Amino acid sequence: MSKKFWEELPQGSVVLEAGSSAKFKTGSWRSMRPRWIEENCIQCMFCWMYCPDMSVKVTEEGKRADFDFEYCKGCGICALECPGKKGNKAIVMEGEGN
Amino acid sequence: MGKIVAVTGNEACALALRQINPDVCAAYPITPATDLMQRFSGYVNDGKVDTELILVESEHSAMSACIGAAAAGGRVATATSSQGLALMWEMLYIAAGTRLPIVMPLVNRALSAPLNIHGDHSDGMGARDTGWIQLYSENAQEAYDNTIMAFRIAEHLDVRLPIMVCMDGFIVSHSIERVEYVDDADVKNFVGKFEAVHPLLDLENPKSYGPLILTDLYHEYKRAQHEVMTKVPAVIETVSAEFAKMTGREYNLFEKYRLEDAEIAIVVMSSAAGTTKDIIDQYREKGVKIGLLKPRMFRPFPFTEIAEALKHVKAIAVLDRADSFGGMGPLYSEIAACVMQMDSKPAVTNKIFGLGGRDYLPDQAEYVIDELIEIAKSGKVKTVKEYIGVRE
Ligand code: SF4
Ligand code: SF4
């Protein structure tokens, strides 16, 4: 983020640039990393819906793709919500250092 | 000249809001401001205004809805009092920090506990650091006039800040007084068309309100907020001068009453200034050189101008209708800061009066003036902070 002087700030801290949150990469916050196990995935898209960021990528055909680790903060919500196939989760959380 | 009527302060402010016809008004009832918004909702019901009236479940929601509507790009007003203002507290800072020109008549009332519905300045003083502009009114006429001017001040492109127009609960809000109205067309013309700045509803230019600003920029944002407050006095003076041209009624940042040649002075705000002026007249007849200074603009506070106006007096009594328990009265603290700028250092005392609607009676003003005469002679202050009009 550029370091502005107080005289240059936009009035009332309004952000005038649309979609600027894409510049805010939250991936560095992560200590846990979700792993996608494709064979257990039923394409329900719960993970995409529940992800608080924009870290579950979707293909042009609307299918679930892998994670976007530039944004994934490792919160684990996707893993918790994932129904998986026959009791086998399609997302598991693993320690970032492992 | 406008119509002359006999109305209450609430009635006059409700009429001002009708004349201004804001886009959105979100409100929740609280004594003694209830009657103001009730009258205004009558105008909404009767189709006298186009205002979208949002009836919410609390004052926190009222201010939240006002913030949303103002960010969307509307001219917005509400009104409240006491606990209602207290419940708005966190949203007040957001309105100011986001630079949204919301206009809010504040009918000053005491804060609980003990529960009390009558007038004092505890509510307004509690909100003095929120970043809102505050104007205090002596009577219904001033409350009405200030409400009209408030839109111009808040919406001025150099300002864009929310503003409270304060009047004393019951003493002004519910007492019938002579008020001279401004004609509808003149008010409309005076206030002008609302100019939205960065409206959310401008869908061609998407934007975000309320971002997270951390250690790298928060301090700078607050510095910018301080700066905009320094521009407010000049805007108030310009708007007031224009208003005087239209109505003949003069307003400044503060009022001086028989102060030019005074040796002692009382500083007091709002309705108590009226009583004080009467007693000053009586003492003047006896040859006592006493004057009064009544701040109208409390936020921002005109330190330099007030220091200049009081620098020739020997002793000052500052009357606060609110207390900062364990500290000094809020108005006293400001006047003491003014005195610090003077080469001559008049003696200053602080009297706490009229809490919870306790009547401010002539004998209290006489007590204060008699003591000021003594202090001016001896140069000695016995008690700096004292409650007056209290049974003891
Ligand atoms: S761990 Fe959290 S941030 Fe990462 S993909 Fe799952 S839900 Fe999104
Ligand atoms: S929630 Fe699990 S099963 Fe559903 S799409 Fe995401 S990974 Fe696949």
User: Do B375 and B283 share a domain, yes or no?
Assistant: yes
Using the mean position of ligand 1's atoms as its centre, give its distance from the Cα of residue B217 in Å. 28
pLDDT single digits (tens) B206-247: 999 999 999 999 999 999 999 999 999 999 999 999 999 999
Q: What is the 3-state secondary structure (H, E, C) of chain A?
A: CCCCCHHHCCHHHCECCCCHHHHCCCHHHCCEEEEECHHHCCCCCHHHHHCCCCCEEECCCCCEEEECCCCCCCCCHHHHHCCCECCECCEEEEECCC
**CB–CB of B220 and A6 under 8 A?**
yes
Please give the backbone phi and psi of residue B306, each rounded to the nearest 5 degrees, phi first: -70, -40
User: Are B70 and B89 found together in one domain?
Assistant: yes
Distance from CA of B221 to the nearest CA of A (A): 6
pLDDT tens figures, B266-324: 999 999 999 999 999 999 999 999 999 999 999 999 999 999 999 999 999 999 999 99
One domain, residues B243 and B206: yes
Ligand 1 centroid to B200 CA: how many Å?
Answer: 30
Residue B392 lies in a domain: no
Pairwise CA distance, residues B275 & B368, whole Å: 13
Cα–Cα distances in angstroms (integers) from residue B127 to residues A30, B48, B92, B227, B260, in the given order: 40, 32, 8, 19, 32
- Regarding whether B101 and B8 lie in a shared domain, the answer is yes
Distance CA(B142)–CA(B121), nearest Å, equals 17
Contact (Cβ atoms closer than 8 angstroms) between residue A58 and residue A46: no
Spatial distance between the Cα atoms of B330 and B337, rounded to a whole number of angstroms: 11
DSSP string, B186-250: HHHHHH-----SS-TT-TTS--BSS----TTTHHHHHHHHHHHHHHHHHHHHHHHHHHHHHHS--
- Ligand nearest to the CA of residue A78, numbered in listed order: 1
Q: Does A24 touch chain B (CB under 8 A)?
A: no
Domain final position from B216, B247, B278? B247
Token reading at B246: 């239209």
Distance CA B9, CA B2 (A): 17
Q: How far is it, in rounded angstroms, from Cα B284 to Cα A74?
A: 77
Query: How is B29-67 classified by DSSP, letter by letter?
Result: --TTTHHHHHHHHHHHHTTS---EEEE-SSHHHHHHHHH
Q: In angstroms, what CA-CA distances link A70 with A23, A45, B152? A: 10, 20, 47
Residue A37, Cβ neighbours under 10 Å: how many? 14
Residue numbers in B near A21 (CB within 8 A): 208
Centroid of ligand 2 to alpha carbon of B331 (angstroms): 63
- CA-based nearest residue to B53, from B72, B28, B73: B28
Which ligand 1 atom minimizes the distance to the CA of A68?
5
**Residues B181, B120 share a domain:** yes
Domain that holds residue B337: 255-387
Give the percent of chain B with pLDDT over 90.
Answer: 99
With beta carbons under 8 A apart, name residues in chain A contacting B220.
Answer: 4-6, 9
Q: What is the pLDDT of residues A25-74, one digit of tens each?
A: 999 999 999 999 999 999 999 999 999 998 999 999 999 999 999 999 99
Alpha-carbon gap, residue B53 to B349, rounded angstroms: 46
Gap between the Cα atoms of B373 and B370, Å rounded = 5
Residue B242, domain CATH? 3.40.50.970
**What residue's CA is closest to ligand 1, atom 2?**
A75
Which residue from A51, A56, A58, A89 has its CB within 8 A of the most atoms of ligand 1, so it is best to mutate?
Answer: A51
Residue at which a domain ends, from B190, B213, B247: B247
Mutate to test the pocket of ligand 1, among A58, A77, A96 (most ligand atoms within 8 A of CB): A77
Q: How many CB atoms lie within 10 A of CB B291?
A: 22
Strands B264-267 and B315-320: parallel
Instruction: Give yes or no: residues B209 and B311 share one domain.
Output: no
Give the closest residue to B339 by CA, choosing from B365, B372, B317: B317
Q: Which residue puts its alpha carbon closest to atom 8 of ligand 1?
A: A51
Closest ligand relative to A63 C-alpha: 2
What residue has token string 């905009």? B228
Q: Provide the angle, in degrees to the nearest 10, between the axes of the packed helices B9-20 and B140-155.
A: 30
> A29-95 has which CATH code?
3.30.70.20
What residue segments make up the domains of chain A, in order of their start?
A: 29-95
Residues B223 and B284 occupy one common structural domain: no
Q: Is the CB of A90 under 6 A from ligand 2?
A: yes
- Interface check for B223 against chain A (CB to CB < 8 A): the answer is yes
Of residues A3, A7, A15, nearest to B207 (C-beta):
A15
CA distance B61 to chain A (A): 21
**Distance between CA atoms of residues B159 and B151, nearest Å:** 11
- Residue B316 has phi, psi (to 5 degrees) of -130, 135
Indicate if B209 and B239 belong to the same structural domain: yes
- B110 found inside a domain: yes
The sign of the CA dihedral B245, B246, B247, B250 is negative
CATH at B317: 3.40.50.920
| B286–chain A Cβ distance below 8 A for any pair | no
Interface touch B205/A9, C-beta < 8 Å: no
- Closest-CA residue of A relative to B220 is A6
| Same domain flag for B273 and B132 | no
Spatial separation of the C-alpha atoms in residues B199 and A13, rounded to whole Å:
13
pLDDT in tens, chain B (392 residues): 789 999 999 999 999 999 999 999 999 999 999 999 999 999 999 999 999 999 999 999 999 999 999 999 999 999 999 999 999 999 999 999 999 999 999 999 999 999 999 999 999 999 999 999 999 999 999 999 999 999 999 999 999 999 999 999 999 999 999 999 999 999 999 999 999 999 999 999 999 999 999 999 999 999 999 999 999 999 999 999 999 999 999 999 999 999 999 999 999 999 999 999 999 999 999 999 999 999 999 999 999 999 999 999 999 999 999 999 999 999 999 999 999 999 999 999 999 999 999 999 999 999 999 999 999 999 999 999 999 999 99
Same structural domain for residues B107 and B23? yes
Same domain, B124 and B236: yes
Last residue of a domain, one of B227, B247, B267: B247
Does B160 map to a domain? Answer: yes
What pLDDT is stored for residue A98 in this prediction?
67
Question: Closest partner residue to B220 among A5, A14, A18, by Cβ?
Answer: A5
Residue A65 C-alpha to ligand 2 middle, in angstroms? 10
Give the Cα separation of B140 and B167 in Å (integer): 8
Same domain, B237 and B260: no
Q: How far apart are CA B220 and CA B239, in angstroms?
A: 29
Decide if A2 touches B, using CB distance below 8 A: no
Count how many domains chain B has: 2
CA–CA distance, B307 with B233 (Å, rounded to integer): 15
Q: How confident is the model at residue A97 (pLDDT cuts 50, 70, 90)?
A: confident
Prior bond of B162 cis (ω within 30°): no
The rounded distance, in Å, linking the Cα atoms of B121 and B355 is 8
Nearest to A13 among B160, B216, B221 (CB): B221
**DSSP, residue by residue, B100-123:** ---EEEEEE---SSSP--S--SHH
The dihedral through the CA atoms of B231, B232, B234, B238 has a sign that is: positive
- Side-chain-side CA neighbours of residue B112 (13 Å): 9
